[in-house]
Structure 1
Amino acid sequence: MAARLTVRPCASLNAHPQWSQADFKYFRGRGYSKQQILEFWNRNLRLGCRPLHWHPDNPKYQDALRRITRR
């Protein structure tokens, strides 16, 4: 089995008002850098968007996340 590379969020992402572990995994799975994620979240914060909250125990969300991250 191949080793999985895990990317941990930096402190600025963890402390961001838009922080969501599922959102972070989604963006990283799509290949976005930490800086790009921070830019997305800052834009969303300015626009008044709320953080994304996936429900990881729900099979519907698990399937969607698997398709997005190809895992």
Structure 2
Amino acid sequence: MTEKAAARAMEPEFEGALWHKSTYSGSNNGCIEHAALPSGRHAVRDTKDRTLGAHTFASSPWQAFVTAVRDGSL
């Protein structure tokens, strides 16, 4: 793990986050995890290498993404 990845993985924003593995994850390790953060933001990370950190999103763009995935417009 690089120093930058280690620092990113330990950011205070992620403290207490409850990560959930996608229900669409298959057996080929192509998995992601999502967490609703205490700040109201949302985070997504790669299950295979959590040390890479996570992408974070404000609530509104995250909800727009989830809606687009569910209704098939993506």
Q: If the length of structure 1 is used for normalisation, what is the TM-score?
A: 0.32
Specify which structure has the higher proportion of helix: 1
Higher RCO (CA 8 Å, separation ≥ 6 residues): 1
Specify which structure has the higher proportion of strand: 2
Q: If the length of structure 2 is used for normalisation, what is the TM-score?
A: 0.32
